[in-house]
Amino acid sequence: MDRSCLAVILAAGDSTRMKSSMSKVLHPIAGRPMIAHVMAAVASTGVRNAALVVGRDADAVAKAGSVEGVSVETVLQTERRGTGHAVLMAKDAIARGYDDVIVTYGDVPLVQSASFAAARRKLAEGADVVVIGFHTDKPTGYGRLLVKDGELTAIREERDATDEERKVIWSNSGLMAINGRKAVSLLEKISNNNAKGEYYLTDLVEIARAEGGKVVAVDAPENEVAGCNNRAELAFLEKLWQERRRHELMVSGVTMIAPETVFLSYDTEIGQDALIEPNVVFGPGVKVEGGVVIHSFSHLEGARVASGATVGPYARLRPGADLAASSKVGNFCEVKNAKIGEGAKVNHLTYIGDASVGSETNIGAGTITCNYDGVNKHHTEIGASAFIGSNSSLVAPVSIGDGAYVASGSVITENVPANALALGRARQEVKPERAKVIRERALALKAAKKAAK
């Protein structure tokens, strides 16, 4: 839109019903604070200026609410005197003279730009106040939107509604858009002449109409404008977000065998023709390219998986894991801050941390890169087409050359040249009949302990 716009985001609540040591809007949905979801929706609407009204945990909320491309001004609200009072905390910003002012809340993380855009279009067509409503089969507790001849005549709170008005299912979400040129004047006319002595933003409907202004409502999906007051509602919003994002990915060409068991993060990227088996969790920072197979019960975070690679089942990719095309990380393996080369295999029961593994290299079962000395992390370099035998420990810093072979059960503490064979284990000794002696001694000790009781 070729119109200037200010977004006012109300995020100063005490979060009492959340029963938490931190602000409600900092609680995450899909690994991202609720307030960050709201700010992202605002930014995608084309808004470049925002006033964030904060209270509890003000600094943390302001940090979480920062978004690229939007100039965010924070305003501290020390008193809680209603929604109208909260919006007026941003009076200085509103008074700068924007065409549009949109008002939203920091605890509606599923809101999308389309709803804001619809409201702004109505402002462009001449409305002074636009209320964003939603239709619901369960309107109990919500203010009802009363419309006549295409205009919104009132928002009737349930306690004040008649029996006929209570039958209305178009309900108030609390989100609103206001003519920016009249916003300050309208907001300042809100009074606290009510039972609670608070300033209600919904009074703008009658105030604007009394001045001859046009007031209308637009509709948004019920789930999109759902707010959050407690942990049960937080879990419900997480469920809705996951369902929406899974659907988007599957429509884009991703296969999920049991989508309801797959959990995504806000920034998860999955390419076309990828296959995600049941019970897979994606933490933040994961990019999966096309044709990848993620087997069941795998957990990925901060990882990149290139085309044609295979992960799991029961694999864990930690931050910095970078799997090249056609590589494989198999069952009960963990990879952290390590590059796995093209076609390389890390098949079973293995930990690869702070390392690089060359193309076509095979890492045997039970291999460990010993990267931590108790104070510092060290790097392990494994070349291309190498073979690391099962149950080997590679004590970093160490380098294994191209084509090298590490014998099973070895502890490698020195560099291994290309194409060399390395053995780092004690020579085997066989002592006949010694096992029988040890067993008899152990049984006698056990019998003596039992007799002593």
Active site residue 348: yes
- CATH classification at residue 256: 2.160.10.10
DSSP assignments along 111-175, one per residue? --HHHHHHHHHHHHTT-SEEEEEEE-S--TTSPEEEEETTEEEEEE-GGG--HHHHT--EEEEEE
Rounded Cα distance, 238 and 28, in Å: 9
- CATH classification at residue 175: 3.90.550.10
pLDDT at 312: 96
Question: φ, ψ for residue 36 (rounded to 5)?
Answer: -70, -35
And the tokens for 429? 């000794």
> Does residue 195 share a domain with residue 285?
no
Rounded Cα distance, 255 and 67, in Å: 32
> Does residue 255 share a domain with residue 376?
yes
pLDDT at 443: 94
C-beta neighbour count of 108 within 10 angstroms: 25
pLDDT at 70: 93
Longest dimension (CA), the chain: 105
Say whether the peptide bond before residue 417 is cis (omega within 30 degrees of 0). no
Last residue of a domain, one of 208, 225, 242: 225
Is residue 334 domain-resident? yes
Structural domain for 214, as ranges = 5-225
Burial of 383 (0-12, 13-18, 19+ CB in 10 A): buried
Is residue 440 domain-resident? no
Is residue 445 domain-resident? no
Q: Tally the domains of the chain.
A: 2
Which residue in the list 85, 135, 247, 348 is annotated as catalytic? 348
Q: Strands 28-29 and 32-33: what pairing?
A: antiparallel
> Does residue 365 share a domain with residue 261?
yes
pLDDT at 14: 80
> Does residue 249 share a domain with residue 198?
no
> Does residue 248 share a domain with residue 205?
no
> Does residue 275 share a domain with residue 192?
no
Say if CB 335 and CB 319 are below 8 A apart. no
pLDDT at 157: 86
Residue type, 193: N
> Does residue 278 share a domain with residue 221?
no
3-state secondary structure of 317: strand
Last residue of a domain, one of 166, 195, 225: 225
Is residue 142 domain-resident? yes
Residue type, 287: K
> Does residue 215 share a domain with residue 101?
yes
Last residue of a domain, one of 199, 225, 251: 225
Is residue 428 domain-resident? no
> Does residue 328 share a domain with residue 216?
no
Angle between helices 34-44 and 113-124 (to 10 degrees): 40
pLDDT at 126: 95
Is residue 436 domain-resident? no
> Does residue 34 share a domain with residue 106?
yes
- Nearest 5°: the CA angle 131, 135, 141 is 85
Is residue 237 domain-resident? yes
Say if CB 344 and CB 363 are below 8 A apart. yes
> Does residue 267 share a domain with residue 203?
no
> Does residue 289 share a domain with residue 155?
no
Is residue 446 domain-resident? no
- What pTM was computed for the model? 0.90
Mean pLDDT, contiguous 10-residue spans, the chain (453 residues): 92 87 95 97 93 94 94 92 93 95 96 95 96 94 91 89 91 96 95 86 94 95 94 97 98 98 98 98 98 98 98 98 98 98 97 98 98 94 97 97 96 96 90 93 93 87
Question: φ, ψ for residue 165 (rounded to 5)?
Answer: -70, -30
